Amino acid sequence: MKQYQADFSALFLRIALGVMFLAHGLTKLFVFTPAGTAQFFESLGFPGFVGYLTILFEIGGGIFLLLGILTRLIALLATIQMIVISFIHSGNGWSFSNAGGGWEYPAFMAVTALSLLILGGGKFSLLPAKYRQY
């Protein structure tokens, strides 16, 4: 693979994953509201503050991915988050259109984030080259 192919692949993955995280974080913020998100997390057995942290991570992490800032760190955290969500949804079956949401979408997002973790942010990120390893 030529370097420009890897750089464009990283850019496209960053944009796709960044937009998805941003969209989900903004939905939690403006549609479900922070209090509603916290209440939902409590219904799953998590402390309510985890809902607030999730909103912060999804919005902030989405922006960071779009800009190519701390790409590998954000991708690592996103991989962990999506694996946890996959397990939470595993009892609902495969399809995310099932009641309660299945696990295929978060599993796909986990693999996408893992791919970006391995690939890195690429040349088209805002950080200088010496900081792109993170």
* pLDDT above 70 coverage of the chain, percent: 95
Give the whole-angstrom CA distance, residue 119 versus residue 125.
Answer: 13
Greater pLDDT, 56 or 131? 56
Question: For 65-122, how does the pLDDT look when each residue is reduced to its tens digit (9 = 90+)?
Answer: 999 999 999 999 999 999 999 999 999 999 988 888 899 999 999 999 999 999 999 9
The DSSP code for 84 is H
Q: Comparing C-alpha atoms, which of 71, 51, 77 is closest to residue 122?
A: 71
Position 104, amino acid: E
Residue 55: alpha-carbon gap to chain centroid: 11
As given in the structure block, the two tokens for residue 97 are 């259109």
Closest of 17, 6, 19, 13 to residue 122, by C-alpha: 6
* pLDDT value for 77: 98
Handedness of CA 60, 61, 65, 68 (dihedral sign): positive
When pLDDT is averaged across residues 46-59 and rounded to a whole number, the result is 98
Model pTM above 0.85: yes
Say yes or no to pLDDT of 134 above 80. no
